[in-house]
Structure 1
């Protein structure tokens, strides 16, 4: 078993709310698609928990970015000894620089 397998998953409150809001918005249009997005996110997070170095390093030390396949969404996360913490959830077409700046200051 990889050493990272014991890590837990944590979400920053703002990232979790953005994820929930995204699923709700998608479900309003197509509930089946919302279910698929949720499955893909859960799978991606399972992979990250097993292989936390899989994401692309960002300009911020200790931070990694990981696109969720076939969803158009991206997560930004940090790895600690005990957890993988999702700091940001966003639509890939959003103004990412602004969002990352806001989240770094309190998200």
Structure 2
């Protein structure tokens, strides 16, 4: 059973990834949004291209905490296959200002 995140911006983030909707994904991000993968800051847009939109990325959320700002999800793409991942979001004024992901 897939969990729907309770934080609206995070829920929309997961939906944008799962539908391959780059425009919706970009609309959720603050203009200065940042991210890290396994503790290393990455260029968010390049990372999203390589890990999500050019690699058929998908998220199946297993659980949430911290009001929907922290997720455990099975993330799958055509590059790496499937792995259990953790996600942590910072949201301000309905926009994602930062997210951090990595293996769980």
Q: Please classify the TM superposition score into its range, dividing by the shorter chain length.
A: 0.3 to 0.5
TM-score, reference length from structure 1: 0.36
Point out the structure with the larger helix share: 1
Point out the structure with the larger strand share: 2
Specify the structure having the higher radius of gyration (Cα).
1
TM-score, reference length from structure 2: 0.37
